[in-house]
Amino acid sequence: MTGVLRDVLISPAAWIVGTAGFLARGGALILALPILSLPTPVGVTLLVPPLSVTTSGVSSVFAPQLIAAGAVVAVLVIAALFLGALADLTAYGRIAVRGASDLAGVRSPGSSATLVVRLMGVEIVALLPAAAAGLVAAVRLVTVGEQEYLLPSSLAVPYVVRVLRGASTEVAALGACLLLADVVNALLSRRILRAAFTPAAHGTTSSGPTAVRVGRGRSALLRVRSVLDPGGRIVATWLAAWSITLASLVPGLFAIDLVWPMVHDTYAATSSSVPPAPPVLLGVTLLFVAVWLTAVLLAGLGSAVRAALWSGVTLPATGR
């Protein structure tokens, strides 16, 4: 853990790669949560065309629009899978090369395009249970959403909260499948990357100081493995990775939530009789951009540490 943190903190390239992977996998949506308002029934009416939802369900007029929206989402998911796989490849290659600096080196991973496609395939396989759970959850959310849209159960509770409450079991199952997909993707993708970067004869070294150093490293690793079995190490890495994720996300979300009301009120005041001066608008804008970018970079740091932890637990037991 200490080695991973030190290596990531001193390498700006790791921050950039981690930020790219974080944003590609939906990080921008997470950081946008503090500035998004829950839609009200009136807002839903503005989003959903008139007569699109009736007591019989979704009308045939609205169906093509739903299909088009689904196609757009599919394209965005494929783009996210591609960028996420590319970030994983870049991060692992950097760690593998640095970790093998005491040895003869690592072999070229071959075609990067082929590796990226294979990593995308792993991501898709890992997400299949989540996709099935998401389909079930979507059907339930639509059903509950129609009921709450036409006959609200409580006007005191926000519309989105009522819908999520009505489909809480399906949403919880989807969350569990996403957590499972995280572990499966981390392990399978590192297995592919390890095979791509590690020569067949990796671990055989010549005699001399390097061999002694590698031998001592193996002895220490065996002592650690005698205490922590592979399953235990995987669980420990998973817990550490999610702890780091929360530690890197919460401060940024809190800062955005703290600054956003001031920014919102300042811009809303532009339509009043005494609008704020341009320097004030510029100041709050720059403040919000600075807070947002800091939150993104901090989350990117957490993502880089996550990737390094998973890579470290699956790297060959040689070198440093």
As to burial, measured by CB atoms within 10 angstroms (0-12 exposed, 13-18 middle, 19+ buried), residue 101 is exposed
CA 51 to chain centroid: 37
- Pairwise CA distance, residues 198 & 105, whole Å: 9
- Pairwise CA distance, residues 237 & 150, whole Å: 47
Q: The whole model's pTM is what?
A: 0.71
* Residues 222-250, mean pLDDT to the nearest whole number: 75
- Pairwise CA distance, residues 124 & 195, whole Å: 20
Lowest mean pLDDT among 9-13, 48-52, 194-198, 312-316: 48-52
Q: Which two tokens stand for residue 290?
A: 């600075």
Q: How confident is the model at residue 210 (pLDDT cuts 50, 70, 90)?
A: very low
Lowest mean pLDDT among 94-103, 217-226, 258-267: 217-226
Share of the chain above pLDDT 70, in %: 74
Q: How confident is the model at residue 205 (pLDDT cuts 50, 70, 90)?
A: very low
272 CB-side CA count, 13 A: 9
* Residues 222-241, mean pLDDT to the nearest whole number: 69
Asked if the model's pLDDT at residue 35 lies above 60, the reply is yes
Asked if the model's pLDDT at residue 214 lies above 50, the reply is no
- Pairwise CA distance, residues 199 & 208, whole Å: 21
Q: Which residue has the higher pLDDT, 57 or 60?
A: 60
* Residues 238-264, mean pLDDT to the nearest whole number: 91
Tens digits of residue pLDDT in 279-295: 999 999 999 999 999 99
Q: What is the pLDDT of residue 26?
A: 86
Q: How confident is the model at residue 211 (pLDDT cuts 50, 70, 90)?
A: very low
Tens digits of residue pLDDT in 73-114: 889 989 999 998 988 888 888 777 665 544 444 555 556 788
Asked if the model's pLDDT at residue 37 lies above 90, the reply is no
* Residues 24-44, mean pLDDT to the nearest whole number: 79
Asked if the model's pLDDT at residue 28 lies above 60, the reply is yes
- Can you tell me whether residue 57 is helix, strand or coil? strand
Share of the chain above pLDDT 90, in %: 22
- Can you tell me whether residue 51 is helix, strand or coil? coil
Q: 207-211, 234-238, 246-250 — which one is most confidently predicted on average?
A: 246-250
Tens digits of residue pLDDT in 109-147: 556 788 889 999 999 999 999 999 999 998 898 888 878
